[in-house]
């Protein structure tokens, strides 16, 4: 996950997909525009499904020199030879994940709308933090990561930051100057043409 003049795309998989069919769609999407990282974010806890899905996506992402991280499952990240893990509990698991995976692995941390959690995650060894949702959503408790949080972070903290959750084109345009990555998932997968939707979002980031 490298620095760039404009924000980069951090692509999040659907929470459920057929690991025999979805990789073809993922390949088309990855070939539509530049993507910095893919996060395998399955809702299931079925180990076999996660293993098969990770194997399929690893071939596609690594062939394109794109990092692949997995939600939560630190041991599977190591076992499957993935690039790292995305933690969902703020700073709490960062030190343990870093110790388990080593210095070369990507360790990211979702911190909701908490500046405090983000700072603690960074101090604990996270490579990036993500805040969200940035748009209105009926999911969760209704909290929103406001523009001011990203603006403050971009001015005060060097650690890369991801904006994710309920993104719209207008939000992407507004946040582009103050974030490093946009975590896009359902925003594109729910459309008829995920590749075209991703290209449209990429243009909004410029």
pLDDT in tens, 105-133: 999 999 999 999 999 999 999 999 999 99
Q: How far apart are CA 8 and CA 149, in angstroms?
A: 19
The reported pLDDT for the residue numbered 5 is 81
The reported pLDDT for the residue numbered 2 is 44
Q: How far apart are CA 147 and CA 43, in angstroms?
A: 28
Work out how many domains the chain is built from and give that number. Answer: 1
Residue 3 has pLDDT above 70, yes or no: no
| Within-domain flag for 21 | yes
Residue ranges making up the domain that contains 117: 8-204
| Within-domain flag for 135 | yes
Residue 172 has pLDDT above 50, yes or no: yes
Indicate which CATH number applies to the domain containing 30: 3.20.20.70
* Of 164, 169, 174, 173, residue with least CA distance to 137: 164
* Section 70-93 average pLDDT: 96
List the beta bridge partners of residue 69.
39, 84
| Within-domain flag for 3 | no
The reported pLDDT for the residue numbered 133 is 97
pTM tops 0.75: yes
| Within-domain flag for 62 | yes
| Within-domain flag for 45 | yes
CA 36, distance to chain mean position in Å, is: 10
| Within-domain flag for 36 | yes
| Within-domain flag for 95 | yes
| Percent of the chain whose pLDDT exceeds 70 | 98
Q: Which two tokens stand for residue 82?
A: 């993935």
Kindly report the average pLDDT of the chain as a whole number: 95
| Within-domain flag for 1 | no
């Amino acid at each position: 996950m490298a620095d760039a003049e404009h924000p980069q795309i951090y692509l999040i998989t659907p929470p459920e997909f057929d690991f025999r069919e979805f990789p073809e769609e993922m390949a088309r999407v990855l070939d539509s525009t530049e993507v910095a990282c893919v996060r395998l974010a399955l809702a299931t806890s079925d180990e076999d499904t996660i293993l098969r899905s990770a194997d399929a996506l690893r071939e596609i992402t690594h062939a394109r020199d794109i990092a692949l991280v997995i939600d939560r499952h630190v041991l599977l990240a190591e076992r499957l030879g993935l690039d790292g893990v995305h933690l969902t509990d703020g700073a709490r698991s960062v030190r343990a994940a870093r110790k388990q995976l080593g210095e070369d692995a990507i360790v990211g941390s979702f911190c909701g709308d908490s500046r405090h959690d983000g700072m603690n995650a960074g101090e604990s060894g996270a490579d990036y933090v993500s805040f969200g949702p940035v748009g209105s959503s009926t999911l969760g408790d209704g909290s929103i990561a406001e523009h001011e949080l990203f603006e403050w972070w971009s001015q005060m903290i060097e650690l890369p930051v991801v904006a994710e959750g309920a993104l719209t084109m207008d939000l992407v345009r507004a946040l582009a100057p103050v974030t490093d990555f946009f975590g896009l998932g359902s925003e594109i997968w729910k459309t008829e043409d995920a590749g075209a939707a991703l290209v449209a979002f990429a243009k909004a980031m410029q």
